[in-house]
């Protein structure tokens, strides 16, 4: 009986050349993905926050504002580098549409990020001063009407929001809550105060709710809302090149640390992230694991994270203790705790709710 050898098919040279160049072209072609990587944390206990017209105290420790670096929406990302970062590279790789709203232009996204950062600083100042017992009066104003919004030409920048769909607005988070049960296409009435011919007048407008393109779920008015307030002290944030709302919690903690005589840091290196409202509520952010990596590289040992982000935390750098929080007051309570205090973790909170 003759030996039987397996059939071997030999590709013609022309076919091999074709697939070789096809592979090269695929790896060199731009594809719709973006990269995330940890940014370098900034210590807000130094000159990043300056305060005038109030007594201040020198912090004893480090308080880091964390950030991420993300590919600009118009920057090309190529197949080869995407493959590298998927396998062994230092960056997270995500589809572009999961990070940037569809059809958004680079200039619009950068403008929104700057507006969100400005709103975050004002909200953080209000939250810190509210916590410390200062009396302040807040207004919630339209800081920008999105291009996709049905409120274009109806609402204007500077409008002071008073009532949304019958709900009197006393806190900024109540604006979205007022129409939570509505659907895209529903028309709601919004009462605002607007300066007309030099006089502040109250008017009512009807706005059709549009799809929330930022989250992809539910309805939205399609506006950015800022906090306007007269503060009894002067606060300046000396930070450039960073946008978005995620610095709110750390900005507020930095102000409390500088304005209060109590030593909250006690020589420790603390980092964190989270949006904040003037009432002190801490909200979720994006890129939390990259921010944790950046904090760990800078030497932080404690990381304050929004509790809502617990579902996004899968890997914690060695030596970093992650403490989930829901409010500014809760974060301060944990910083006051003794070193041997058993802090809550995302795992312990999950076991309580399951």
What is the total count of domains within the chain? 2
In a domain, 210, yes or no: yes
Domain with residue 207: its CATH number is: 2.30.42.10
In a domain, 348, yes or no: yes
310 and 175 within one domain: no
pLDDT of residue 117: 78
Per-residue pLDDT in tens (0 to 9) along the chain, 354 residues: 455 555 555 656 655 554 555 455 444 445 555 666 778 899 999 889 999 999 999 999 999 999 876 655 555 554 455 555 555 555 665 555 555 555 555 556 566 667 777 778 888 999 999 999 988 878 889 988 988 899 999 999 999 999 999 999 988 888 989 998 899 999 999 999 999 988 899 999 999 999 887 666 689 999 988 877 788 899 999 877 676 788 999 999 999 999 999 999 999 999 999 999 888 999 999 889 989 999 999 999 999 999 999 999 999 999 999 999 999 999 999 999 998 899 999 987 765 554
In a domain, 26, yes or no: no
Q: How far is CA 154 from CA 146, 149, 157, 178, in A?
A: 12, 10, 10, 19
In a domain, 123, yes or no: yes
Rounded distance between C-alpha atoms, residue 243 and residue 111, angstroms: 9
In a domain, 301, yes or no: yes
pLDDT of residue 30: 53
Which of 184, 201, 229 is the last residue in one of the domains? Answer: 229
In a domain, 314, yes or no: yes
Rounded distance between C-alpha atoms, residue 331 and residue 64, angstroms: 14
Which of 229, 248, 277 is the last residue in one of the domains? Answer: 229
210 and 236 within one domain: no
**CA-based end-to-end distance of the chain:** 68
Pairing of strands 269-272, 62-65: parallel
Q: Which structure tokens are listed for 70? A: 């993300």
Domain with residue 85: its CATH number is: 3.30.230
204 and 269 within one domain: no
350 and 274 within one domain: yes
pLDDT of residue 339: 84
244 and 199 within one domain: no
pLDDT of residue 283: 93
57 and 83 within one domain: yes
Q: Which structure tokens are listed for 315? A: 């890997």
353 and 294 within one domain: yes
List the one residue out of 110, 119, 190 whose CA is nearest residue 150.
190
Burial of 13 (0-12, 13-18, 19+ CB in 10 A): exposed
Given CA atoms 264, 278, 255, 269 in this order, what sign does their dihedral have?
positive
248 and 119 within one domain: yes
Q: How far is CA 345 from CA 230, 299, 302, 322, 352, in A?
A: 37, 20, 12, 7, 11
Which range marks the domain in which residue 242 is found? Answer: 37-96+111-134+231-354
- Can you name the residues that pair with 269 across neighbouring β-strands? 62
In a domain, 11, yes or no: no
244 and 119 within one domain: yes
224 and 145 within one domain: yes
337 and 208 within one domain: no
Which of 195, 229, 263 is the last residue in one of the domains? Answer: 229
218 and 190 within one domain: yes
Segment (H or E) for 126: helix 106-132
In a domain, 106, yes or no: no
Q: How many CB atoms lie within 10 A of CB 72?
A: 11
């Amino acid at each position: 009986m003759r030996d039987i050898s397996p059939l071997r098919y030999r590709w013609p040279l022309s076919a091999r050349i074709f697939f070789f160049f096809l592979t090269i072209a695929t790896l060199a072609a731009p594809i719709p993905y973006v990269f995330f990587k940890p940014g370098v944390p900034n210590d807000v206990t130094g000159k990043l926050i300056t305060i005038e017209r109030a007594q201040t105290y020198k912090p004893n420790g480090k308080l880091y504002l964390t950030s991420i670096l993300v590919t600009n929406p118009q920057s090309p990302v190529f197949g080869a580098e995407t493959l590298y970062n998927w396998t062994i590279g230092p960056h997270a790789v995500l589809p572009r549409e999961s990070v940037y709203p569809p059809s958004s232009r680079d200039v619009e996204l950068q403008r929104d990020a700057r507006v969100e950062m400005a709103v975050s600083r004002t909200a953080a100042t209000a939250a810190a001063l509210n916590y410390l017992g200062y009396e302040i009066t807040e207004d919630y104003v339209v800081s920008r009407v999105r291009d996709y919004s049905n409120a274009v030409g109806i609402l204007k920048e500077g409008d002071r929001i008073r009532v949304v769909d019958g709900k009197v607005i006393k806190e900024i988070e109540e604006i979205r809550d007022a129409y939570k049960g509505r659907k895209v296409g529903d028309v709601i009435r919004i009462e605002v105060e607007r300066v007309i011919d030099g006089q502040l007048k109250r008017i009512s407008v009807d706005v059709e709710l549009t799809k929330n393109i930022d989250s992809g779920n539910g309805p939205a008015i399609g506006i950015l809302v800022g906090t306007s307030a007269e503060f009894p002290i002067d606060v300046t944030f000396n930070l450039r090149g960073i946008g978005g709302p995620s610095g709110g919690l750390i900005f507020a903690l930095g102000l409390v640390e500088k304005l209060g005589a109590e030593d909250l840091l006690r020589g420790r290196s603390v980092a964190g992230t989270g949006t904040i409202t003037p009432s002190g509520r801490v909200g979720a952010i994006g890129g939390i694991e990259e921010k944790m990596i950046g904090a760990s590289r800078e030497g932080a040992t404690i990381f304050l994270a929004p509790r809502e982000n617990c579902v996004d935390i899968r890997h914690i750098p060695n030596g970093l203790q992650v403490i989930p929080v829901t409010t500014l007051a809760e974060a301060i309570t944990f910083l006051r705790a003794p070193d041997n205090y058993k802090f809550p973790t995302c795992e312990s909170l999950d076991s309580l709710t399951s």
